[in-house]
Structure 1
Amino acid sequence: MTEVWTAHTADLDEATIKAARALLWNVFEDDMTEHDWEHCLGGIHALVWEGDELIGHASVIQRRLLHDGRALRAGYVEAVAVRGDRRRRGIAAAMMAELEGVIRRAYDLGALGASDEGAALYEARGWQRWQGPTFALAPTGIQRTADEDGFIFVLPAEAPLDLTGSLTCDWRDGDAW
């Protein structure tokens, strides 16, 4: 397998940014939006190249999650994608291993919103499905995000967690989670 390279968004050159954007639109097709693209910027990217072609991307950004009366610094995983013809070769797992190291060293916990297809990968890596209700701290106040229930996963790090309690994310345009 090719090596995973990590870098902050600020350290990526224009060609790498363009390659990452193109890969994400190719992998997620109609499910990828401009908001989704923006959500994966501003943190650490894990990138896998095969020659001069980007075949894997994932990123971790900082968010605030509210749980049990505490504001937790969360490493939130975004845009985990592997080119279709390179899947099932350990690329996503290798990228996640890099990002999980970042999360364990820098955050109170890791979090992510999983698709049905991605859930098995995260569970196999020790991520735990959030069992309680989810919310978002919107400009108009706290809003329930019931459609996200069962799709949010956490990677415990420093903060004690009650997986059956409520979990509230900070606000952002597009999908809250």
Structure 2
Amino acid sequence: MTEAHPTTPRVTDVRLAHTSDLDAATLKAARTLLYDVFDDMTAEDWEHALGGLHTLVYEEGDLIGHASLVQRRLLHAGRALRCGYVEGVGVRADRRGSGHGAAMMHALERVVRGGYDLGALGASDEAASFYAARGWQLWRGRSWALTPDGIQRTADEDGCIYVLPTAAAPLNLDTDLTCDWRDGDVW
């Protein structure tokens, strides 16, 4: 295999597919990519990324980026909102800064705007400015989780939750937001 000349553009392919449409090899490649990108990736984190839509970025046939969108319910202002929740956003280290993350998010944001009351995600400190620049807004209110033992405070998540409002549901970013239950990190 020959290396591409530095000025030769690489052929990039962005795919959007449901978990059920991905074969075992693709799912394994996506999981491996995310484990390489995140030092603290867990089995629960991977599970959270399944069951919805995946955006996959390939260059020259190699998987270099992954992001997924799963449906969750968030409670806000007395309503259960249908949320497109973003999970597992990662780009291979040597391909960052080339617009791949933006391409994946663009595809998922289109789905959020067309099919959900809002989008939401938990952002790391390093990624917060990326999401904010795309129009995601920091949730300034308190965070909670609807657990098997009732509603419990998730204060450690305050300041890390970002939402993408849509026309479907008015939001007050300064009030409480409660997520549905799941194993592992609830947000």
TM-score bracket for this pair, using the shorter chain length = over 0.9
Residue 52 of structure 2 is aligned to residue 43 of structure 1 = yes
Match of 2:174 in 1: 164
In 1, the alpha carbon distance for the partners of 2:183 and 2:154 equals 14
User: What do residues 7-26 of structure 1 show as CA deviations (whole Å, max 9, x unaligned)?
Assistant: 00000011100100000000
Gaps of 5+ in 2: 1-9
Q: Look up the SS of the partner of 2:172 in the other structure.
A: coil
Q: Look up the SS of the partner of 2:67 in the other structure.
A: strand
Q: Counterpart amino acid of 2:28? A: K
Quote the offset at 1:50 in angstroms: 1.3
In 1, the alpha carbon distance for the partners of 2:127 and 2:101 equals 10
In 1, the alpha carbon distance for the partners of 2:159 and 2:173 equals 11
Q: State the TM-score, normalizing by the size of structure 1.
A: 0.98
Q: Look up the SS of the partner of 1:3 in the other structure.
A: strand
Pick the structure with greater CA Rg: 2
Residue 38 of structure 2 is aligned to residue 28 of structure 1 = yes
Match of 1:147 in 2: 156
Match of 1:128 in 2: 137
Q: Counterpart amino acid of 1:161? A: L
In 2, the alpha carbon distance for the partners of 1:150 and 1:59 equals 22
Q: State the TM-score, normalizing by the size of structure 2.
A: 0.93
Structure-to-structure mapping, 1:1-177, within 5 angstroms: 2-29=12-39, 31-157=40-166, 158-177=168-187
**RMSD, aligned CA:** 0.7
In 1, the alpha carbon distance for the partners of 2:130 and 2:29 equals 24
Q: Counterpart amino acid of 1:142? A: I
Q: Counterpart amino acid of 1:10? A: S
Quote the offset at 1:51 in angstroms: 2.0
Q: Look up the SS of the partner of 1:117 in the other structure.
A: coil
Aligned length: 176
Quote the offset at 1:73 in angstroms: 0.2
State the 4+ residue runs in structure 1 displaced beyond 4 angstroms.
none
Gaps of 5+ in 1: none
Quote the offset at 1:4 in angstroms: 1.2
In 2, the alpha carbon distance for the partners of 1:43 and 1:50 equals 23
Match of 2:7 in 1: none
Identity, in percent, stands at: 68
